[in-house]
Homo-oligomer: A and B are copies of this chain.
Amino acid sequence: MEKKPELCRVEDALGILVGKWKPIILLHLLINGTMRFSELKRHMPGITQKMLTKQLRELEEEDIVQRVVYPQVPPKVEYSITEYGRSLEPILEAMHEWGSKHTAHKEEKEKRMAQKEAN
């Protein structure tokens, strides 16, 4: 662990993953490879066009995803993870694992709470 918190770069990584939909977008692209805009949207009920566009633009800006536009009507735009973006995979994996454990941890905690209240 870095001994100087001032030099901590955790926020830089965090900044890329943060955004209400970014992890799910990345997961979808990691699993399915290339996806069209509308395809992504269909897989994320609840997201608005604006949001999806914004998040994808931000990921593109950081070279995490690639955007390919086909000059057609109706428009066709495909998104995919870049090689560079794939370097995030271990982190996502670790976070998913930790998140799963944490969910279990919280459930247990709640059970203990309920137990206490019963007394």
Complex Cα–Cα for A95 and B100 (A): 18
A18 touches B18 (CB 8 A): yes
Contact of A99 among B3, B11, B92, B101 (CB under 8 A): B11
CA distance A68 to B27 in the complex (A): 40
Q: Which chain A residues in 7-21 approach chain B with CB under 8 Å?
A: 8-14, 16-18
Taking beta carbons and an 8 Å cutoff, which residues of A are in contact with B? 1-3, 5, 8-14, 16-18, 23-24, 27-28, 30-31, 43, 62-63, 84, 87-103, 105-106, 109
CA distance A98 to B92 in the complex (A): 12
Determine whether the beta carbon of B5 is less than 8 Å from that of A43.
yes
Tell me the bound Cα distance from A91 to B92 in angstroms. 9
**Nearest Cβ distance between residue A52 and chain B, in whole angstroms?**
14
Q: Does B91 contact A98, Cβ atoms closer than 8 Å?
A: yes
